[in-house]
Amino acid sequence: MDSLVTTEWLAGEMGASDLRIVDCTKHLAGTGRNALAEYEAGHIPGAVFMDLADLTDTSNPVDNMLPPAEKFASRMQSLGLGDGSRIVLYDDSAVKTSARAWFMLKMFGAHDVALLDGGIAKWKAESRPLAQGKEQLRHRHFTAWQDDSSVRTKADVLANLHSKAEQVVDARGAARWSGADPDPRPGIAVGHIPGSLNVPFTDLYNADGTFKDKAGLKAAFESAGVDLGKPVTTNCGSGITASVLLFALSLLGKEDTALYDGSWSEWGADADTPKATA
């Protein structure tokens, strides 16, 4: 299974015993939207709902940090996602939250994970079938396994300011990155990590919500000054849209990538971290 699948492909695979479809929609606070209610009102048939708001480390004061492996595995088992499943993720979120689910699943050991190109919006636009209510799948075993090699801490990013071993690429919009716009979270400074480059995650999509082709993705990164031959660490507000950048880089065959999990919600809250504005 490719890591990016079409609605046509998914329609043809519906009902396969090893296929698991997951709605990973999470909306930002203040949108007035309820992801679970929207899922119950209409989802791709067979899809289960992954509550990303619950898949965090509640012991960490920083917003939206990655959960412990055991917690993640437990949640996946209860959704019917197990070892050997082919997992297709989609969302209906302005911040493309299925990429965050993709990053977590890969980090915690799932092997066959894909995003639905265009999400449920494209599925609906093509008048494909929808189901209502909740889906119940039997529990399956999900082995708790964790590879932290693709995660960076604040200490790592601070050290990288001097070593410059990795390029830091910020997925937020240009006005947030430059410091022209305030951060939506209270008590968070404006600006960006010094030396970081800016590739707004929205630059990676076509108008219909599908990903740009490889040439378009490559151009989006290179026009921002990213050297695709060197390692990249991504960040954003809280690690969600930074995952979109990681997914797009994976489509380009790039594997020397990592996520700064604390992102700006951690960096911008620390009075001692250096900040840059442009």
- Is 236 one of the catalytic residues? yes
Measured between alpha carbons, how far is 145 from 142 in angstroms, rounded to an integer? 9
Measured between alpha carbons, how far is 80 from 19 in angstroms, rounded to an integer? 10
Q: Residues with Cβ < 8 Å from 250, sequence gap 6 or more?
A: 3, 257
Query: Which is the catalytic residue, given 236, 245, 246, 269?
Result: 236
Residue 210 · residue 122 · CB < 8 Å = yes
Residues marked as catalytic: 236
